[in-house]
Structure formats: structure tokens, C-alpha cells
Amino acid sequence: MLSRVANSLYWMSRYIERAENLARIMDVNMQLMLDFREAGSNRSDAHWLPIIQATGDETLFGEFYGEVNSYTAQEFLTFRADNPNSLTSVIAQARENARMVRDQITVEIWEEINRLYLFLRSSRAREMWDSNAPEFYQEIKLGSLYLQGLSDATIPHTEGWLFMQSAKYLERADKTTRILDIRHTSLPAKGRPEKPLDPHESLEWAAVLRACSAWDAYRQIHGADIGPVRVSNFLILSKDFPRSVIFCLAALDSALRNISGVQPGRFSNDAEKHSGRLLAEVQFSSVDDIFNHGFHDYIDLIQQRFNQIGEALFDAYIFKPFNEGEETLQQQQQQQ
Amino acid sequence: MPRPPLTAFATVQAITLRAFSPKNKHLLITSGVQISQDFYLQSFVSIASLRSKVLTSNYQCDGFFDEMLSIPEGVRSHYRQFVESFNQLSDLEFDQKRRGIDVEFLRQGVTFNVYGNSEGTERIFPFDLIPRIIPAGEWETIEAGLIQRITALNLFLHDIYHEQRILKEKVIPSYFVLSARHFRREFVNFPVPNDVYIHICGTDLIRDGNGKYLVLEDNGRCPSGVSYVLENRRGMKRAFPRMFEKIGVRPVDTYPSELLKMLRFIGPQGVGDPTVVLLTPGAYNSAYFEHTYLARQMGIQIVEGRDLVVLDSRVYMRTTKGLQPVHVIYRRIDDDFLDPTVFRPDSVLGVPGLINAYRSGNVSLANSIGTGIADDKVMYYFVPRIIKFYLGQDPILDNVPTYLASEEADRKYIMENLGQLVVKAANESGGYGMLMGPSASKEEIEEFRKRIEADPRNYIAQPVISLSRHPTSCDGKFEGRHIDLRPFILYGEKPYVMPGGLTRVALKKGSLIVNSSQGGGSKDTWVLYGNE
């Protein structure tokens, strides 16, 4: 497979996953705000600011808007074309990458990405968002899920698909930690939180679960008993929940090893080394280890490790083949 | 929830309706995908009982040659079966089929990019549902004429890059060839594989007021449009499956496999199973859709310049598993941009060292380098002589009468009749660099007069040909619109002409310009097995 193609497939897949997560975050938190009406606009600031922070684009936000409120936050994360991580930008980038590899993906996948793109650019999208935002975000979420179904059902599960899988799980693991981290300020820097939750906080932690589509799965295990420790345990360490960090890491690790064909427990490049090592570390951690280390710090740390895996993957499959050619070429020219 | 087509359709409709309300004008303009308003007007205006009116007195031939109708006989015999079937459709059905195809094209992104815009605007190629039909007998002549022409052009290219007999015998003045912008001196005496220069040709044909087929120009570099032929046919088959069965239309969808067969045939000697790739300038090129489409249909890799590297005079592509050899390149990049070390040094689209690999015989290119000279409109003037010289035959398909501005007598005639002539720059295409005398302003005419005086070698002139017309659905009724035809010819082991081609239609009333970049649309072209 061409390196450039692998790169495009990888980013197409990441952007789609990113869009879905963004849509869920927005949807859930907007609905949550409806419960906070009586609490006044202070609560609104406090509610949306961490969400902007979690996307990592706080500075950019400050350049466009004076205050953080429900409207500016959503506008920024949904339609703002000059925010590279807004829903509109992310879908446009997914489509741009898909366009580069149109010959490699199926017609069905291309058409769905194109449909999402055209939808977001249409005035209907704005109207729908104004009149019925949940329906709007639902449209994006369903688009992403439909695309995942299509890539599983219409693409041969070979190299290209494996790059898409790696991208999806890496992005998903990262987003799960970011969603989880949104409410970190209510937690102690180190150690388990002891303070009982106020009703608002309970709702906020429930929103974290919903934003990861984890509400139903969580309730089957823990009932309606919501708390930061259980939620963290579930979203980081649940072996079976498909959006938990550990689940995503295992899927990522397996996709990476399938690309190179290397045995479990071994590695043939840095991406496999980093992912295998991180997976093992998380597998051999308990939720107490996480809180003892310091919740926010831990999240920060594994996010850095995700980036490291992404970079190593790029080096191994995309960058290196380019450079190898370049170096040999230069040597040749020197010899001539 | 229900997925497309319903959802997608609703989306399209919303975009469209918005597009026409003045208040929201900016929305359409600021959005990345601009949608041709005409296209949508046609799609959404309710089309009431228009089919039955095709053949009624409402339809005017206006003295032009009409492909479907002749006066006073009525429907020409090769259209009769189609018109019969067509008239059995209800208006509602026809309307649905039109919408079906339009929405389908938008969803699939069957688009072309328009230049001159900061981020490359994508447009849908407007498609008209009424097919252009060519009977078998007529097609035989066209096919023979096209094969004759490509054969002669290949012999000509070989000759001018080797012995230059045609120049020595003064059939063509040397000056015209040696001064041609696309004559590649670097490739004189270079043996191209199998002596074939033009492997893929898209020759533009028109019909004059008497219905006579004439060659308008040869496109021997990177002719595009074939993907629309294939997509149009796919759409039509889905819309009118029974008609195809009944009427007997020759298939076009073998083109990709014929193309691949040809590309494999020209592989370097000694390579048993050549790796073929399609080299594209990238996603912002106007024909990018076509590039991906063809690559997908042929099952070959589509590469950009940066995906290829030349080592030791061999071409490789950069893959996740390291470098892999490439043997044949179907390049959709002009000569000038192929290799920055040989041609334009500022080209970022090309591959450094590619020409060296080509010279060493390790990689084949389709088309070969240096074919641009056959596209030179001055050379076009000489094609009848070229055919006679190499094949000893008279041309089966005639040229449009042409005047060369560099010939004294012709130039005098051109200058005196600028208002009645079409003037063309010798090396432009896509409808650019053209003067349509009858519709031009005084200033434009004077501007061209100056240009011709300054550089006569670069201009030719032709009388305005009243292109044939074809019933086309326009704003809810059928009207005659001017059309041309671009058939595609492959030249590998033996020549192959795809039965059909791209029929382009000038959607603007009275317009003679069919180029997609200037308001043209397309039709499916049916070549019949029989004559009726």
C-alpha cells in the first residue's frame, strides 16, 4: 500500500471518530445544561469552559469570543470554520482525506462521507441545529456509526482497513480520556475522592458516561450509583466496553501487529513497542493506582503516550519509506 | 433511521431552495461546493407533460441539423424505438428518474474542479437524460475515420522525431513543426516502445448544418471525459433498464479493461507482469474524479509525483512495505510537469529522474512524450495531408475548413472577416484563448487583431459551424441545444474505438460552447447494434 494512501486512510478514520465524539460531547452537555437553567449563567461558564479546555483549543476560543456560554461554546465546536477541530472542519478534513484515496475506499463509504460533508455545509444543518440540536448531533453520530459499519462490512480486512482501525481506536482512547478529564477539577490532585457528590456533580458524571455512550453499559453493572471512581474504573479499565481505554488499546495493539504480522508479546517497530507497553501497564493497573498517582496527571500521561504511539506509527509506515528513498537518492547523486 | 436516498434528497433540496432566495445568496457562495443553479433549476421545476410535446409543433429546429428530428419526416429512424419507449413513461416517472440521477451524481461526487478559485470549487457535470443515438452504419464510418486518423498521427509523430521525411519532402513546411511549442527536441531519435506515441486519443467531432461529421480537434495529450461516459451510462442503465434491452445499445463499460490491456501491452521489454500506475497531479486537478475513477475501474494504484522515486534509472513507489517497482505510467500530467530536472524546474507535480528512467527503457509512459505537437491547431490544418502522405488515402473524416494566420493570403482573409470567424490560439484547449467572431464585442475583435499580428504562427481561424442540435430538457420543456462528440480511441496492439463517447451539450440557449468549464453539460451516447 502506498504510504500516502495509508496516511490518508488513517486520518480519514481518525477524523470521523473525532467528529462522533465531539457530537456526543456537545449533545450530552447541552442537554445537561437544560437541567441547570435555574443555576444561572455562572454555572454555564463553569460547565462549558472545561469542555473547551478538553479539546485543547482554549486560546483559539479566546480569540473569537468574549465569554464562554452555551451558545459560543457550541458554535465554536460545531460550525466555526477557522477552528480546525470544529465538527464542520473535522468532517471536511475527513472528506478531503477520503478524496485523496477514493480509489481505495468503497463507493458506499465515500458517499456517506460526502453526504455528511454536504449536510454540514447546507443551510439545513444550521436550521436543524437551531430548532432541534439533539437531532442535528444524532445525524453526525449515526453518520459515524454507519461509516464504521461500512468499513467493517465493505472493505477487505487487510492493511488499509487495519490502518483505519488503528486510527479509530487511538482516537477513541484519546477522546475517552478527554471526556473523562472534563470533570477533573472536582477531584483531589492525588488520592481517592472522599467528598459526597452534590446533585449537579452527579449529573455531570452521568453526562461523562453518556458522552462515551457508556450509560446503559455502566448501569447494567453498577446500577444508578454514579461516582468518579466507578466511572473512571469503567471508562479506563473495563475490558469489555468498546470505548474504554483498555479495550481501545488492546484493539489498537492487535491492529498494529496485524499490519506487520508480528507475534503477540513482540514488536518490530516503535509503534508496536509503545502500544504493547502501554497496554501492559494499563492492564496491570487498578483504579486505586490511578487515583494514587493523581487522576488528572495520569490522564495527561497516557494522552502523551497515545501521541507517542501515533508519531511512531507515522515514522514507521509513512515517513520512513519517504526518507529511505530520499537518502538513497542523495547518496546516488553524490556518487555520480 | 432511514438512510439515503430520501435523506440525501432532502438535503439537496434544502440547499437548492436556499440557493434561490436572494437573502441567502451568500450561503451558497461561501459553501465549498458550488452547485450549478441551472442544473438545479432543471431538476426541481415541475416538469409537466413535457415528453409528449417533444415531437409536437412546440419544438423548433430553427434551420439547424437536428439529430433526432428531420423536417418534414419527423423522428429519424434510429430514434424511433427510443421515442416509443420514452413516450410510455409518465411525467412523474420521468421526473423521478431525472432527480434520481442528479441526486446520485451529487452523492457520488461525480464532479469536476473549476480553476481560478482559491480552494478549487467542485461542480457537478450537468447531465441531460435524452440520449444521443448513432446508428451502426454511421458509426462504422466514424470508427474507420478515427482509426485512420490516429494511425496517421502516430506515423507522423514517429517521422518528425526521426527521419523527418514529411518535412524533407516539403509536405509540411519545417518551420511549422520546428516552431511548435510542444515539439520536444530532446526526444528526436528516441525510440518509444512499439513506435506508438499517442496511446489514448480523444478526438472532438461535430456535425455541420448538413449533418456531416467533421473533426474539430485532436486531443493527443491527456484527453479527459471518459469517466463521465461511463458514469452517464451507469445512470441511464439504472433509469431505463428496459430500453437498453429492447433497443440494443453497444456497451461502453469494457473501456477500463481495454485501457488496462493496452497499458500492460506497452510495458518495458522483459517485464512479464508489469505494474501499472496512474499518475495524477492530485486532488485539486480538474479531472481528479476521473483519475480515481479510472484507477479504481482498472484496479491499479493512483499515485502522485511524491509517491514515486527514481533510483538507478528505475521508478519505484513508496509503500508501507518499502519501495516497489513501477513499469508503466498512465500519466495525466502534461510533459512540462513530468520531471523538474528536465522540463519545468518549478514543477512540484513531477518525479525527478523520471525522464532518465524513461530514456533507459525501464518505464513506459502513456501517452509518450512529445505528442502535444499533434494537438497544435496549426498541425491540425495539415492532418489531411498527413493522412495522404503516410497512408496514401483520402481522409474519411474531413477537417473543418481552416485558415492559417501565418500564411499571407489566409491572414488577409482572417483580418477582413474577424467578425464572422472563430479564431483559436494554436495551443489552448478547454474553450480558452478563443474568439467567437459573431458574438464578440468590437474591443475583443480588436484585441485579437493585435494578438494575431504580433504572433501569427499561434493563430488559426475557422468559419462558424452551425453545430447540430439535439432535443434537451431545458427549464421544463424540450429545446434544441448544440452538441459535439468526443469519442475515445486506444492504440495498443491494435486500435480500439469505444462505441460511443462523450456527447457534450451547450446548455445555454444558442451557445456553441460545450466545454464543461463554460456551462456545458453531457448526454449519454448510444451506438446501436443496428441501424434502427
In a domain, A101, yes or no: yes
ipTM (interface pTM)? 0.74
- Do A26 and A126 lie in one domain? The reply is yes
| Mean residue pLDDT across chain A | 89
* DSSP classification of residue B64: S
Confidence of residue B63 (pLDDT cuts 50, 70, 90): confident
pLDDT score of B90: 81
Above 70 in pLDDT, residue A332? no
In a domain, A121, yes or no: yes
Residue linked to cell 515539439: B183
Q: What residue ranges do the domains of chain B occupy?
A: 406-463
pLDDT score of B104: 79
In a domain, A334, yes or no: no
Q: Look at B14 and A122 and tell me if their CB atoms are within 8 Å.
A: yes
Give the tens place of pLDDT for each residue, A284-320.
999 999 999 999 999 999 999 999 999 999 989 887 7
Q: Which residue of B lies nearest to A122 if distances are taken between CA atoms?
A: B15
In a domain, A193, yes or no: no
- The predicted model gives B128-134 an average pLDDT of 94
Residue linked to cell 483520402: B394
Number of domains in chain A: 2
CB proximity B234 to A under 8 Å: no
pLDDT score of A323: 61
Residue A156: asked if its preceding bond is cis (omega within 30°), the reply is no
Give the tens place of pLDDT for each residue, A83-140.
999 999 999 999 999 988 888 899 899 999 999 998 998 889 999 999 999 999 999 9
Say which range, A38-47, B90-99, B480-489, has the weakest mean pLDDT. A38-47
- Do A93 and A51 lie in one domain? The reply is yes
Above 80 in pLDDT, residue B335? yes
Confidence of residue B30 (pLDDT cuts 50, 70, 90): very low
pLDDT score of B196: 93
This prediction has a pTM of 0.80
Above 50 in pLDDT, residue B133? yes
In a domain, A66, yes or no: yes
Residue B79: how many other CB atoms lie within 10 Å = 25
Note the Cα B506 to chain centre separation in Å.
Answer: 14
Are the C-beta atoms of residues B152 and B171 closer than 8 Å to each other?
Answer: no
d(CA B135, CA B475) in angstroms, rounded, equals 29
Give the tens place of pLDDT for each residue, B270-289.
898 999 999 999 888 878 88
pLDDT score of B375: 86
Q: How far is CA A196 from CA A39, B14, B27, in A?
A: 20, 50, 50
Give the DSSP per-residue string, B340-370: TTTS-TT-SSS-TTHHHHHHTTSSEEESPTT
d(CA A33, CA A207) in angstroms, rounded, equals 10
Chain A hits for B283, CB-CB cut-off 8 Å, are: 96, 99-100
In a domain, A162, yes or no: yes
Chain A hits for B318, CB-CB cut-off 8 Å, are: 2-4, 321-322, 325
| CATH pick for B406-463 out of 3.40.1550.10, 2.40.128.20, 3.40.50.20, 3.30.1490.270 | 3.30.1490.270
pLDDT score of B38: 35
Are the C-beta atoms of residues B290 and B296 closer than 8 Å to each other?
Answer: no
Four-CA torsion B186, B189, B195, B196, nearest 10 degrees: 20
Confidence of residue B51 (pLDDT cuts 50, 70, 90): very low
Question: B267: phi > 0 → left, psi -120 to 50 → alpha, else beta; which?
Answer: beta
- The predicted model gives A23-32 an average pLDDT of 87
- Do A87 and A208 lie in one domain? The reply is no
A80: containing domain: 1-155
* 3-state SS class at A153: helix
Nearest by CB to B311, which of A92, A118, A329?
A329
Q: What pairing do the DSSP bridges indicate for beta strands B276-279 and B328-331?
A: parallel
- Do A165 and A55 lie in one domain? The reply is no
- Do A146 and A177 lie in one domain? The reply is no
d(CA B222, CA B198) in angstroms, rounded, equals 10
Nearest by CB to B108, which of A92, A107, A322?
A107
- Do A106 and A179 lie in one domain? The reply is no
Q: Look at A103 and B288 and tell me if their CB atoms are within 8 Å.
A: no
Give the tens place of pLDDT for each residue, A260-275.
999 988 899 999 999 9
CB proximity B6 to A under 8 Å: no
d(CA A120, CA A123) in angstroms, rounded, equals 8
Residue A169: what residue type? Y
Of B467, B400, B423, give the one whose Cα is nearest residue B214: B400
In a domain, A268, yes or no: yes
Q: Look at B11 and A119 and tell me if their CB atoms are within 8 Å.
A: yes
Q: Look at B33 and A123 and tell me if their CB atoms are within 8 Å.
A: no
> Which tops the pLDDT comparison, B39 or A257?
A257
Above 80 in pLDDT, residue B245? yes
Are the C-beta atoms of residues B467 and B482 closer than 8 Å to each other?
Answer: yes
In a domain, A330, yes or no: no
CB proximity B316 to A under 8 Å: yes
Residue B464 phi, psi dihedral angles, 5° rounding? -70, 120
CB proximity B295 to A under 8 Å: yes
pLDDT score of A141: 95
pLDDT score of B54: 53
Q: Look at A118 and B108 and tell me if their CB atoms are within 8 Å.
A: no
Which of A58-72, A165-179, B407-421 is the most confident on average? Answer: A165-179
